Amino acid sequence: MSEPPVSVADSLRDRARAALGSRNLILVGLMGAGKSSVGRLVAHQLGIPFIDSDIEIERVSRMTITELFAAYGEEEFRALEARVMKRLLKGGPRVVSTGGGAFINARTRRHIKKGGLSVWLKADLDVLWDRVNKRDTRPLLKTENPKQTLENLMNARYPVYAEADLTVLSRDVRKEVMADEVLRAVVEAQKESAVS
């Protein structure tokens, strides 16, 4: 009996899963890039666990990110984030969506670089602004001109995000399309490393 035909979606998923192996897939990028929502879909496609570092931080501290910033300040938050990230990346494979500033912190960046394959979801200012201005859960944007603050963060952070292993452009397309693009980038990276 002949095998049933493999759909394009199945084969992309299977190839990405094989390319990832036992490594973690870690999504980095600015607030609103889609790390949490796209990461969840990618994990579902790959059939591996999904963890969002912001949610994990809130779970272990039993405080919201906003409360943590207010009570302890950004520096303490970064120290906690680094500890949580180190622990999350010990096991694998998982899809780990990080908080927007995680990869910017040198200690956390080291854990991420050691802990798996990193993907920068890169978006332009208008896409990000459109997404983040709908909610006020991001303490760093509680400024007089949050759009300008977001632009300043882009200018300061984009050279650092560029150190991620892979870059995927986060555009105004459905999250499912973005998830497929992440899977495709993982497959392509594997092909390139096999050639070189």
Q: Residue 71 burial by CB count (10 A; 0-12/13-18/19+): exposed, middle or buried?
A: exposed
Beta bridge partners of 27: 97, 119
Give the shortest CB-93-to-ligand SKM separation in angstroms: 22
Judged by CB under 5 A, the residue of 14, 17, 36, 113 near Mg ion is 36
| 31 binds ligand SKM, rule: CB under 6 A | yes
Residue 145 burial by CB count (10 A; 0-12/13-18/19+): exposed, middle or buried? exposed
Backbone angles phi, psi at 63, to 5 degrees: -140, 155
User: Which member of 16, 46, 65, 187 binds ligand SKM (CB under 6 A)?
Assistant: 65
Is 150 near ligand ATP (CB under 6 A)? no
Of 92, 93, 100, 116, the residue at the interface with ligand ATP (CB under 6 A) is 100
Choice between 27 and 187, CB closer to ligand SKM: 27
Q: Is residue 78 part of the contact set for ligand ATP (CB under 6 A)?
A: no
Select from 18-26, 82-90, 138-146, 188-196 the region that touches ligand SKM (CB under 6 A).
138-146
Residue 54 assigned to a binding site = yes
The reply to whether 35 sits near ligand ATP by the rule CB under 6 A is yes
* Selected range binding ligand SKM among 39-47, 124-132, 136-144, 163-171, rule: CB under 6 A: 136-144
Cβ–Cβ under 8 Å, residues 100 and 27: no
Distance, CA of 150 to CA of 158 (rounded, Å): 12
Q: How far apart are CA 124 and CA 113, in angstroms?
A: 24
Partner whose footprint covers residue 139, from ligand SKM, ligand ATP, Mg ion, none (CB < 5 to 8 Å by kind): ligand SKM
Q: Put the strands of the sheet holding 95-97 in their side by side order.
A: 50-52, 95-97, 24-28, 116-122, 166-169
Q: Which range of residues in 35-43, 75-83, 151-159, 180-188 is near ligand ATP by CB under 6 A?
A: 35-43
If residue 25 lies in a helix (H) or strand (E), which one and from where to where?
Answer: strand 24-28
User: 34 among the known binding-site residues?
Assistant: yes
**Backbone torsions φ then ψ of 166, nearest 5 degrees:** -130, 155
d(CA 42, CA 140): 27
For the annotated binding site, the residues are 32-37, 54, 78, 100, 138, 157
What are the residues binding ligand SKM (CB under 6 A)?
Answer: 31, 54, 65, 99-101, 138-140
What are the residues binding Mg ion (CB under 5 A)?
Answer: 35-36
